[in-house]
Chains A and B, each alone.
Chain A
Amino acid sequence: MYKYDEYDQRIVDERVAQFRDQTRRYLAGELSDDEFRPLRLQNGLYIQRHAPMLRVAIPYGNLRAAQLRKLAHIARTYDRGYAHFTTRQNVQFNWPKLEDVPEILAELATVQMHAIQTSGSCIRNVTSDPFAGVAGDEHIDPRPWGEIVRQWSTFHPEFAFLPRKFKIAVNGAAEDRAVIQAHDIGLDLKHDAAGRIGFRVLVGGGLGRTPIIGEEIAAFVPWQHILSYCEAILRVYNLHGRRDNLYKARIKILVKALGIEEFRRQVDAEFAHLKDGPATLTEAEVARVAQHFDDPEYAELPAADAGFAARKAENKPFAAWAKRNVRAHKRAGYASVVLSLKPTGVAPGDISAEQLERVAELAERYSFGEVRVTHEQNLVLADVRQADLFELWQQVRDARLATPNIGLLTDIISCPGGDFCNLANAKSIPIANAIQARFDDLDYLFDIGEIELNISGCMNACGHHHVGHIGVLGVDKNGEEWYQVTIGGSQGNHTALGKVIGPSFAAHEMPDVVESLISVYLELRHADERFIDTVRRVGAEPFKTRVYAERAARLEDERKVVNG
Chain B
Amino acid sequence: MAEIIRNGALHADDWEVLRLAEGQDAATVEVEHGRWIVPLAVWQAQREHLAARAEAGVLGVWLAGSDDPAQLADDLVRLQLVAVDFPKFADGRGYSIATLLRARLGYGGELRAIGNVLRDQFFFYLRCGFDVIQPQPGKYSAAQLQAALASLADFSEPYQGAVDRAEPLFRRVRREVRA
Contact = CB atoms under 8 A, between A and B. Distances in A.
A279 B124 contact: no
Contacts of A31: 120
Contacts of B93: 238-239, 243
Contact of B99 (A3, A121, A158): A158
A247 to B, nearest CB: 16
A160 B120 contact: no
B91 A161 contact: yes
Contacts of A3: 178
A256 interface: no
Interface in B134-179: 144, 151, 154-162, 166-171, 173, 175-178
A279 B155 contact: no
Given A11-B157, A152-B160, A279-B161, A157 B177 contact: no
A496 interface: no
Contacts of A508: none
Contact of B156 (A14, A22, A151, A291): A14
Interface in B84-104: 89-93, 95-97, 99, 104
B156 A279 contact: no
B104 A273 contact: yes
A30 interface: yes
B140 to A, nearest CB: 9
A278 interface: yes
B112 interface: no
A281 B160 CA distance: 11
Nearest to A160: B124
Given A160-B92, A160-B124, A273-B104, A7 B155 contact: no
A21 B157 contact: no
Contact of A243 (B89, B91, B96, B144): B91
Interface residues of B, number: 40
B128 interface: yes
Given A278-B171, A285-B170, A154 B178 contact: no
Interface of A: 3, 5, 7, 10-11, 14-15, 17-18, 21-22, 30-31, 35, 38-39, 121, 151-162, 227, 235, 238-239, 243, 273, 277-279, 281-282, 284-285, 287-288, 291-292
B177 to A, nearest CB: 5
Contacts of B170: 281-282, 284-285, 288
Main secondary structure of the interface of B (DSSP, over half): loop
Given A21-B151, A278-B171, A161 B90 contact: yes
Contacts, number: 116
Contacts of A156: 160, 162
Contacts of B124: 155, 157-158, 160
Nearest to A153: B160
Given A157-B162, A161-B95, A121 B155 contact: no
A419 B161 CA distance: 43
B153 to A, nearest CB: 9
Given A35-B89, A155-B158, A288-B175, 13 more contacts: A5-B175, A30-B144, A154-B159, A155-B124, A158-B128, A158-B162, A160-B95, A161-B91, A238-B92, A243-B65, A273-B104, A288-B170, A291-B177
B118 interface: yes
B147 to A, nearest CB: 9
Interface string B23-44: 0000000000000000000000
B144 A11 contact: no
A544 to B, nearest CB: 44
* Pairs A-B, 7 closest by C-beta atoms: A161-B92, A157-B127, A285-B170, A157-B124, A151-B159, A158-B95, A278-B161
Contacts of A285: 170, 175
Nearest to A31: B120
A3 B39 CA distance: 49
A159 B92 CA distance: 7
Contacts of A284: 170
A14 B155 contact: yes
Contacts of B151: 18, 21
Interface in B2-55: none
Contacts of B167: 278
A35 B121 CA distance: 11
Contacts of B161: 277-279
A10 B127 contact: no
A154 to B, nearest CB: 6
26 contacts: A5-B175, A7-B173, A11-B155, A11-B157, A18-B155, A21-B151, A31-B120, A35-B89, A152-B168, A154-B159, A155-B160, A157-B95, A157-B158, A158-B124, A158-B162, A159-B95, A235-B96, A235-B99, A239-B93, A239-B96, A239-B97, A243-B65, A279-B168, A281-B170, A284-B170, A292-B178
Nearest to B116: A35
Contacts of A35: 89, 118, 120
Nearest to A239: B96
A207 to B, nearest CB: 23
Question: In this complex, which of A3, A14, A227 has the most chain B Cβ atoms within 10 angstroms of its Cβ?
Answer: A14
A7 B91 CA distance: 30
Nearest to B165: A278
Contacts of A160: 92, 95, 121, 124
A238 B159 contact: no
A239 B91 CA distance: 10
Given A30-B144, A161-B91, A282-B171, A18 B154 contact: yes
